[in-house]
Amino acid sequence: MPVSVVKILEKKMRDFLWNDTTEKRRLHWVSWEGVCLPKALGGLNVKKLRTMNRALLAKWLWRFGDEKDALWRRIILEKYGESHWGWNPGQRVMPYGSGIWRGIANIGTDFRKWTSFSVGNGKSISFWEDHWCMDGALRTRFPTVFLMCDLKEECVAAFVRVENGCKGWDLHLRRSLNDWELEEVGELLMTISDCTVNEEVADQRRWDTTGKTYLVSAAYTKFAQNNGVTDFPASLVWRTETPSKVNFFVWATVLRKIPTMDSLKRREFYLPNRCEMCGCCEETASHLLLHCSVANEVWNFFLGAFSLRWCSPSSPAAMIHAWSGCKFSKEGKTLWSLIPHAIFWVLWKIRNDVIFNSKLYPFHVIVLKVKSTLYYWGKGLGILDQFWFQDFVFRWETVVQAL
């Protein structure tokens, strides 16, 4: 896929996500790199098109090594040759030819890093470059021995030595060893000692070290080489019980990417930074949703009903991490797990109403809104059949005890 097409398509995807139009460009609170990370690393698991394209193209490289007698392979072989003992196509340079196939052949180096081999006769596995006796290439793990070796590009079978009917390994070193080199050579011999070469069996290629066949999804993960938030609480953020817009908000909150006053100031919006809920502190995500006197009162009400004493966590992310299960019935556990989402969401909606519509919300109305939200979500899941809405409004303690 041409890079220019990828750029156009990904721009359309970004515009859709952040609701951009030709007239109005909105703030993109999370970078596209961040959005494309897996959910477990703090992203939305949106696939990068270029990487996905490479993973799909690489499937042809896998098939090239597998389908030895296929007609299409014979045509490619005739035109471009082969490399790596027939596992990969050659990269013969010609003034003409298929640009698509050249694109496929060009990702061969990356592709080879993720394949490993099960040793048979050892005649089609590179001793130094392929992954066959450990996770990685011997050349990388034992660089000193590699430099001393005379056979740098030979297959595994070339290193087998048969003596008195017994098979061993000959490293083909060009000189005698110094004492400081003995340890590395010994370690290499230990590493390969468990592998045996069997003349009767053909070498087999495996995808990754899992032994599975080629999977585009697994290849995408390898090609993407993601770096993100390693301890992102994805399973606690992305809940099936809550609306996706709420999950999206909680996701952005945990990443500290919601448009609170401090975030807007960092983006050079010149606004007086004041929390409109309490009127006496600067507004940050942590303040608004946890430490503000209004928020604190709401948390105290709901945690107090469960007879829990608590110390306010430092951030919404810490709150989500710390929200562990309590000893409830199955329905109770579900309802309990929805409380942070409900409080975050209601506080955010109220904050916007206060700022943009100048409304006022007494404490009991905020609590009522959280209860209504919980009831609405719980009723939709069918876990609150024994309760009426009036129970939530007037007999909250009874509801909690029944859970």
Rule CB under 5 A: which residues touch Zn ion? 275, 277-278, 281, 292
How far apart CA 84 and CA 313 sit, in angstroms, is 56
Other Cβ atoms closer than 10 A to 342: 24
- How far, in Å, CA of 44 to CA of 47, rounded? 9
| Min separation Cβ 343 and Zn ion, Å | 14
CB-CB contact of 287 with 281 (8 Å): yes
**Choice between 203 and 283, CB closer to Zn ion:** 283
Q: How far is the CB of 313 from Zn ion (least distance, A)?
A: 16
The nearer residue to Zn ion, 92 or 274, going by C-beta atoms, is: 274
Nearer to Zn ion, 347 or 399 (CB): 347
Beta bridge partners of 168: 161
- Tell me the pairing of strands 115-118 and 160-163: unpaired
Of 292 and 374, the one with the shorter C-beta distance to Zn ion is: 292
- Residues 6 or more apart whose CB falls under 8 angstroms from that of 345 comprise 246, 249, 250, 373
Packed helices 244-254 and 330-357: angle between N→C axes, nearest 10 degrees: 80
Residue (2 or 279) nearer to Zn ion, CB: 279
CB of 284 to Zn ion, least distance (A): 10
Smallest gap, in angstroms, from Cβ of residue 294 to Zn ion?
A: 6
Phi and psi at residue 125, to the nearest 5°: -130, 130
Helix, coil or strand: residue 362: coil
Residue 292 or 366 having the CB closest to Zn ion: 292
CB of 295 to Zn ion, least distance (A): 7
Q: How far is CA 77 from the centre of its chain?
A: 37
* Burial class for 329, CB neighbours closer than 10 Å (0-12, 13-18, 19+): exposed
Distance of closest approach, residue 275 Cβ to Zn ion, in angstroms: 3
